[in-house]
Amino acid sequence: MSEAITVGKHYIQKNPDVLGGEPHIADKRISVSFIVELYVHQNTPVEEIVAAFPVTSSETYAALAYYYDHTDEIDGLLDEWDKAATKHDDPERKAQLLARAQAKGIELAQEQEMTASEISEEFGITSRVVRLTATKGWIPARKSGATWLIRRSDAEARWGDRVRRAG
């Protein structure tokens, strides 16, 4: 004989006083449609969503589960986003995401990656120093082919004072 087991907690809420009644992560102003936009349409890995926003992996997966159970509802909300973006001559989805995140009081972590030559030019150091720093593990970096990629925030933390002193 089998029995139903309830696991976890309720991660998704709908409240007319929060985000206009959109389904959202419980006790947070992060909508399911926002998570879906990032994960499904922008191909953002769950790990990056968790790192950039105040959500857990469980909450993110719960939002995605809600989406797959209510695709018509969430796709309708996303279509409204698209119509609003087109109406305001804002063709770039990323710009729309940023505006929506800011409107909801969420700070989107811009983790733009830069190449060694971009860092060299912006921070006034040689590309060789950037590559050596990455190779030695003195700064978080990843390699894509022969190119070192470093997050802008890490480069600013390491070499940003050079720009402030020079300016």
pLDDT in tens, 62-112: 999 999 999 999 888 888 776 665 555 545 556 655 655 554 444 344 457
Cα-based torsion angle of the residue sequence 36, 34, 16, 29 in order, rounded to the nearest 10 degrees: 130
Q: Which domains does the chain have, with CATH numbers?
A: 12-103 (1.10.10.10), 113-166 (1.10.1660)
Query: For residues 85 and 45, which has the higher predicted lDDT (pLDDT)?
Result: 45
Query: For residues 148 and 99, which has the higher predicted lDDT (pLDDT)?
Result: 148
Q: Is 28 exposed, middle or buried (0-12, 13-18, 19+ CB in 10 A)?
A: middle
pTM of the model as a whole:
0.50
- Tell me if 19 sits within 8 A of 104, measured CB to CB: yes
Task: Please say whether the dihedral angle defined by the alpha carbons of residues 20, 23, 24 and 27, taken in this order, is positive or negative.
Answer: positive
Indicate the helix (H) or strand (E) that contains 10: none
Residue 72 structure tokens: 């018509």
Could you tell me where the DSSP H helices lie in 70-151?
Answer: 71-87, 93-103, 116-123, 127-135
- pLDDT value at 153 more than 90: no
